Amino acid sequence: MHKRKLGKSGLEVSAIGYGCMGLNFAYGQPMERVDAIDLVRKAFDLGVTFFDTAEAYGPYTNEEIVGEALAPFRDDVVIATKFGFINASGQNEMDSRPENIRRVADASLKRLRTDRIDLFYQHRVDPQVPIEDVAGAVRDLIAEGKVMYFGMSEAGAATIRQAHAVQPVAALQSEYSLWWREPEQEILPTLEELGIGFVPFSPLGKGFLTGAINEKTRFDDGDFRNIVPRFDEQARKANRALVDLIDDIALRKGATKAQIALAWLLKQKPWIAPIPGTTKLHRLEENLGASEVMMTNSDLDEIAGALGKIEIEGERYPEHLQKRINR
């Protein structure tokens, strides 16, 4: 697995990381704990050194799984986790008060079985707490050695700049993929200017870009996609044109659709490290194979031209969650 540095921070990670959320949260039936731990360890065996979790996933239990899984090789991996929701509920209410940031850090350290958090993200921007106070709280944790690097998630460009002026932001985590390219407008130029790395989550469009989902697919009752407008039946049918485009390129490259979607992301900037998630070993192996797919500038031009003719249907979040992004 190739390595990449997240911007100018010096933080080095595998070119493709592993998003651990789906192991037991948001996507229907959770994995058995022993199987989840085994899959995380297999990811490490395959070259992954970048693992993403959060106190809100579960809540709490995802960090425990990741901590147990990575304990045998803790010094060889980068663990990212997040703070910012009241009681880790993941609902609309935020809590990025400095005292809560410190509380979350201490609790996460215990669940992760470690003495430091490599990358500590603000999960969502809290409009009730000045971002300078948030950055200052993380700066203090870095000074104490409890946190190594500061990250933000789904923050707007102006907020990123304000935080970065207090404590350098090592990485921004936001959704970015072939079917969600909004970050190209303002976020990517801002990150490049400031030397901040980018960690795309949902790089496979929550599974849609793999081609495994169509308008007839039914999700488990607890699956987050049931409330996502982009996954209603009509939107899935309309958005199939994008999957067909990826499939054409994949056939020519001798790759899978997932690998093309990830290789496209890797080609955008050398400081981008996507974090696809999966609960299946064969999908994990497939995703990691994307780092070996050669994507040329002419390939990118072809994709850009084709994308200009495809209109993606449906919002990526339901209305009540849209308010939590790009603050």
- CA dist 27 and 219 (Å) reads 8
* Catalytic residue annotation: 57
Q: Is 63 exposed, middle or buried (0-12, 13-18, 19+ CB in 10 A)?
A: buried
Residue 291 token pair: 């780092």
- CA dist 280 and 317 (Å) reads 25
Going through the chain in order, the beta strands assigned E by DSSP cover 3-5, 12-14, 18-19, 50-52, 78-83, 117-122, 147-153, 169-175, 197-201
Cis peptide before 59 (omega within 30 of 0): yes
User: What is the pTM (predicted TM-score) of this model?
Assistant: 0.95
Domains of the chain: 3-204+269-292 (3.20.20.100)
Each of the 327 residues of the chain gets a pLDDT tens digit; together they read: 899 999 999 999 999 999 999 999 988 889 999 999 999 999 999 999 999 999 999 999 999 999 999 999 999 999 999 999 987 766 668 999 999 999 999 999 999 999 999 999 999 999 999 999 999 999 999 999 999 999 999 999 999 999 999 999 999 999 999 999 999 999 999 999 999 999 999 999 999 999 999 999 999 988 989 999 999 999 999 999 999 999 999 999 999 999 999 999 999 999 999 999 999 999 999 999 999 999 999 999 999 999 999 999 999 888 877 777 878
- CA dist 231 and 27 (Å) reads 13
